[in-house]
């Protein structure tokens, strides 16, 4: 008996549907992904028409929000820790600039308290933050 060998065909794989599916998945994940935004303090600064823009020197940001919570570089701190933290930062960088911002609704005694702490820490470069 004479058997014929099967005809071999060159199979060509069509990649178009695979590429379409990959792009659809990519678009789906891009549209449904939740991007984390950095935590920002919600502080309404008072306005000033004579403010200056500061250069990028060694700075530390001290803040008080409307609830009277103190922050150092956007990290909540207890009021008893502020002076020690500022002293250690001042020892690391003697030309340290403290940028101080307080919400418009902050109590005046808390603002004076923080300014007094900054002076006791030996820091002479204090900038009060405002909005234009």
CA of 51: how far to CAs of 44, 47, 73, 95, 132, in Å? Answer: 16, 9, 21, 21, 7
Contact by Cβ (8 Å): 118, 84: no
**Whole-number Å distance between alpha carbons of 70 and 75:** 8
Could you list the pLDDT tens digit for every one of the 132 residues in the chain? Answer: 566 666 666 777 788 989 999 999 999 888 887 766 656 667 777 777 776 555 556 888 999 988 888 999 888 998 888 899 999 988 988 888 899 998 888 888 888 999 999 999 898 888 888 776
Give Cα 114 to chain centroid, integer Å: 23
**Whole-number Å distance between alpha carbons of 12 and 15:** 9
Query: Where in the chain are the domains?
Result: 59-128
**Whole-number Å distance between alpha carbons of 30 and 38:** 19
Q: Topology of domain 59-128, per CATH? A: Nucleotidyltransferase; domain 5 (3.30.420)
């Amino acid at each position: 008996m004479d058997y014929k060998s099967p005809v071999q065909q060159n199979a060509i794989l069509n990649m178009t549907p695979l590429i379409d599916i990959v792009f659809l998945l990519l678009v789906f994940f891009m549209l449904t992904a939740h991007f984390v935004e950095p935590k920002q303090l919600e502080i309404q600064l008072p306005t000033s028409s004579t403010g200056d823009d500061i250069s990028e020197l060694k700075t530390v940001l001290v803040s008080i929000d409307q609830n009277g919570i103190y922050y150092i570089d956007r990290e909540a701190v207890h009021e008893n820790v502020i002076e020690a933290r500022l002293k250690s930062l001042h020892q690391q960088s003697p030309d340290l600039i403290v940028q101080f911002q307080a919400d418009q609704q902050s109590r005046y005694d808390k603002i004076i308290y923080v300014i007094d702490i900054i002076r006791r820490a030996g820091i002479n470069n204090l900038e009060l933050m405002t909005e234009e």
